[in-house]
Amino acid sequence: MECIFCSIISKNREAAYVYENDRFIAIMDKYPINIGHTLVIPKKHYHTIIDMPVNEVGMLFALTAHLAKAVIKAVNSDGFSIGQNNGEAANQIIPHVHVHIIPRFANDKTRWSSRRFMTFEQLQNVAENIRRYIEPIEIEELV
């Protein structure tokens, strides 16, 4: 079965388009958390964000920030959340990279899921473990 977003990109499935260029589309979420909930999607199919080249990730988030300005003006929101899930355990429902722009309103009662308390020592241990896996990267690669 074809990916839902790939079907939309190939015009085989309808969507309410907000924006399109040669690399990305932005559409309205069919099941929005709030009015104006927009999805920014690369046209090329990538399962998760770590499958994407770093420069494309940068372009995706630059476009997301640019479109967020228009979204918050259009719906007159008090703020916005940016969401991006990777993998089933992270609640990625459609296995094609996409970024959520979710307008937020003062009394919308939409909150992040549960959080946990960790001691500073626990945080330090996790940070140290993460640092072991960070691969070297040149700043030029991020431009």
Residue 140 within a domain: no
Pairing label, strands 79-83, 38-42: unpaired
Residue 75 within a domain: yes
Q: Are 18 and 104 in contact (CB under 8 A)?
A: no
Q: Please report, for the domain that includes residue 48, its CATH number.
A: 3.30.428.10
Q: Which domain holds residue 103?
A: 4-110
Number of domains observed in the structure of the chain? 1
Residue 31 within a domain: yes
pTM of the model: 0.85
Strands, DSSP E only, in 21-126?
A: 24-28, 38-42, 79-83, 99-104
Residue 119 within a domain: no
- b/e map 134-143, b = 16+ CB within 10 Å: eeeeeeeeee
Residues 68-116 have pLDDT tens digits of 999 999 999 999 999 999 999 999 999 999 999 998 999 888 776 656 6
Residues 1-53 have pLDDT tens digits of 789 999 999 999 999 999 999 999 999 999 898 889 999 999 999 999 999 99
